[in-house]
Chain A
Amino acid sequence: MRLQKATQFAILAVLALARDPSRQLSAAEIAETYGISANHLAKVLRDLGRAGLVEAVRGAKGGYRFAGNAKRTSLYDVIRLFGDSVEGEADIGGPAAGTDIGRALGLVLSEIDEIAVATLKSISLATMIKSLEWESATSSR
């Protein structure tokens, strides 16, 4: 599974905002923190805004803040917003897909996809934020 850049940026941005919903961050601040394109991120943030996950805050210190429900939004939800397909691409493609070996290989790839989807659906943004806190507590010991 490989996520498109827009999906990766969306996950980074939504987690950066959701870890402190009272705080607002500009696209430039998020882009600088994660070393990503500010222009591309600005477009991603608009898409996240249309989905109700972030909201734009106007004013001199304007930016974005988290507006969704971190407990009820999974990584899979964010990935699907940007059109990435985790499942359904298990077919090896080409003429070999119809052969016995092609079908057997397709079954193995389907199994991997199903596990990936179940994993992404089970991890909420809130769980991701908790895991950041656990990691930070573990590394500071």
Chain B
Amino acid sequence: MPNTKEIPGTEGEHAVIRVARAEDMDEVAAIDAAITANAKPDYWQRAFRRYATRRGRYFLVADDHGTIRGFILGEDRAWEFGSPPCGWIFAIGVDPRYREGGLGSRLYEALCLRMKEAGMETVRTMLARDDALNMAFFRSLGMRGGSFIQLEMPLDLKKEGETR
């Protein structure tokens, strides 16, 4: 049965979208931990060094009067299995208390603008099949199933009759 309950919007519309700084990482890690229930502060320190300080890589945050409410990460990639240069988004998070206020959309749009300025014509992402929240979010912004398909297998898969 469809959920017809309306969820009220929240504040955060005055947040400024800017490039992440080293001092933001504790707040970014806290938002991520609140969303994923998996604290990984070391990962975010590494992510800052890899994505906030290099050309063609993007680490943006939503700064609401000095408090970080959300983040987005991405990078430009080219020629993977013949794919012309395109932007990739591989992380987005908004403080759950500040959702439904448009912050995620603003982070996405700010990242897409930067990618477009860098010459990208397409933006892609990859999500878990059961990640209904993010899937619906990206769909609502116009993303659709693309021209590439993700494949995977366990590395220890031993096929019948295979000898090593």
Contact = CB atoms under 8 A, between A and B. Distances in A.
Contacts of B145: 119
Nearest to A14: B2
Nearest to A134: B142
A29 interface: no
A20 interface: no
Contacts of B1: 51-52, 77, 81
A37 interface: no
B157 interface: no
A69 B6 contact: yes
A72 interface: yes
Nearest to B129: A118
Contacts of A126: 140
B3 interface: yes
Interface residues of B, number: 16
Contacts of A118: 129-130, 132, 135
A2 B7 CA distance: 33
B49 interface: no
Contacts of B6: 69
B4 interface: yes
Given A69-B3, A72-B7, A131-B142, 15 more contacts: A52-B1, A53-B4, A69-B5, A72-B2, A77-B2, A81-B1, A81-B2, A118-B130, A119-B145, A121-B135, A123-B136, A126-B140, A127-B136, A127-B139, A130-B142
